[in-house]
A and B are shown apart, each in its own frame.
Chain A
Amino acid sequence: MASRGFSFPIPSMGPSEPISRVMRHVFLDHQSATPVLPEVFEAMRPYFTEYFGNASSLHQHGLRVRDALATARKQMAGLIQAENPDDIFFTSDGTESSNLAIKGVAYANERKGRHLVVSATEHPSVMNSVEFLEKQGWTCTRVGVTPAGLIKLDEMEAAITPQTVLVAVHHVNHDIGAIQPMREVGRLCAAKGVPLYVDCEASAGWLPIDVKDWGAALVSFSAHRFYGPKGAGVLYRNRKARIVSILHGGVQEGGRRAGTENIPAIVGGGVAAAIAVERLQARIAHTGVLQKRLWDGLSSRIPYIQLNGPLPGPDRITTNLNLSTEFIEGEGQLLLCDLNGIAVASGSSCVSKSLKISHVLGAIGLDHALAQGNIIMTLGEANTVEDVDYVVETFATIVKKLRGMSPMWDEFERGVIDSVIAPTGRGKSFSAHAAEVSGKPAH
């Protein structure tokens, strides 16, 4: 989002600490959505009204949009350096692509074997598809990750059996921004002769992707993560993987995905992909500078804050900061950020409808107290240095306000409990204390 420093009265932050009277808007949740670029929107526009045909029709209206689909397929193929655009299937989004990749391959290869291998930090669309299959008799091995969130390659190698029909490892983790060693993962899969599915939802448009280099059989991504519209999901599939449809109907998308194609979204997604190829290096450079400035600012202004996932560098995507601020909870931070014009996400249990922390934070072995204080900031190309400086100042004030309200901060200062991030050796652990005070069943 472009930053606009317009005057906007906001409610008091409390009598003692007014944070700001001028609302600035900083969108730091590009992992959830990005604004559609004007040129993308313009490209889509005629496909709502003028070129409204159905790609399955055999007349002029259908043939015209069929042509537009072919162009978008080439553009999407270009983003992941796929040789054959016919290997690109359009779906509704990343979740549908994951479902098709996992279930489609599992069902197609039932006779070969009923075992899957996935990393423990995959997106819920992968984890829950796998769980669905387990209820039907498939087995699955979830491969652990290091504390930084990188897949344990030796564990992965050991997990693959002759019955394994698919390995699923995401390129970049959606929560902690860890870039997986895809080339090594690809080599292992090739050596074992097992097709590899790579979820590129968090990386497409932000990192170079070369499906040939990885030897990937399947790759998924969607356009709304790189300035395209929602509703344009992609599944790339080459001949290394047999797959069956999970949606049954017409013969759209070569019979692999039934249902009328969302032409305007696909056209826009294709244009967004072409722009992403052009701007890739500029995006990486820009967000890399902001990521460093943001983390340097936050870590120097706020005591007892830590970065989860790899340090900024080759193992971490430049857009992501996953923070744990000790002694306070994530939802309160998120709400106060929002009230100050800053849009962020959180993996805390309090923001989840299931009251569970993000499974990714669990998989990297993060202390529950730190997972509770989790905030995820994801940068985009319109964010500025001024935005980052505003976020650092505002977030520092928010942390101070919430710590002032937290019994844990007070108990830490009195030496009753200790810090996980920078232990002082005084007091018991937060977890031990939390267990003690919740010893009585909550309900």
Chain B
Amino acid sequence: MSDTYTLYNPTVMDHFMNPRNMGDLKDADGVGEVGAAACGDIMKISLRIKDGRIEDARFKTFGCGSAIASSSMATELIKGRTIEEALSFSNEEVVDALGGLPPVKIHCSVLAEEALKAALEDYVKRHPEAAKAVAAQPVSA
């Protein structure tokens, strides 16, 4: 592949071509679907949460290569984290883990953060008892 040029760096291309955690979760504890007003992309993240920890995560994305890679990477990063940890998740983590995104594509990583937060919000809505546990940290997208 030495003669092949790609639009994104090898990590982004890898996550685009071989996305991790793609799909839906049966009996998900929280599902978030968000759209980007800027470009029209749509991202959905499903979470399975047990004992206050994200046990599993899946994504589905209608969007460009970097949107798909961002959601793939975001689901990789948040697996195993507690709800509290996940609530402070930032898009910058996705950008860093992907080894950078073109400036015009940073909003794709923001969308991944928003989809995750929306899924957590949904979880909290469905599990009011969990809301008490994280009351100190209000959900903000």
Contacts and interface: CB of A to CB of B under 8 A. Distances in A.
B24 to A, nearest CB: 7
5 contacts: A332-B63, A368-B40, A438-B35, A438-B37, A442-B38
B39 A350 contact: yes
B61 A406 contact: yes
A327 B18 CA distance: 20
A407 B61 CA distance: 6
A245 to B, nearest CB: 36
B43 interface: yes
Given A328-B62, A329-B64, 13 more contacts: A11-B17, A331-B65, A332-B63, A355-B39, A355-B104, A369-B40, A408-B42, A434-B40, A435-B35, A440-B34, A442-B36, A443-B38, A443-B110
A442 B13 CA distance: 25
A406 B35 CA distance: 13
A9 B14 CA distance: 15
B68 A332 contact: yes
Nearest to A368: B40
Contacts of A38: none
B111 A442 contact: yes
A425 interface: no
Interface string A325-364: 0011111100110110000000011110101000000000
A442 B62 CA distance: 16
Interface hub of A434, A440, A442 (most chain B Cβ within 10 A)? A442
Nearest to A349: B39
Contacts of A443: 38, 107, 110
Contacts, number: 104
B65 A14 contact: no
Interface in B70-90: none
A13 interface: yes
A315 B54 CA distance: 56
Interface of B: 1, 7, 13-14, 16-19, 22, 24, 33-44, 60-65, 67-68, 104, 107, 110-111, 114, 141
B19 A329 contact: no
B18 A12 contact: yes
Given A350-B41, A355-B39, A405 B34 contact: no
A327 B62 contact: yes
Contacts of A336: 17
A441 B17 contact: no
Contacts of B62: 327-329, 372, 406-408
Nearest to A10: B1
Contact of A372 (B1, B40, B60): B40
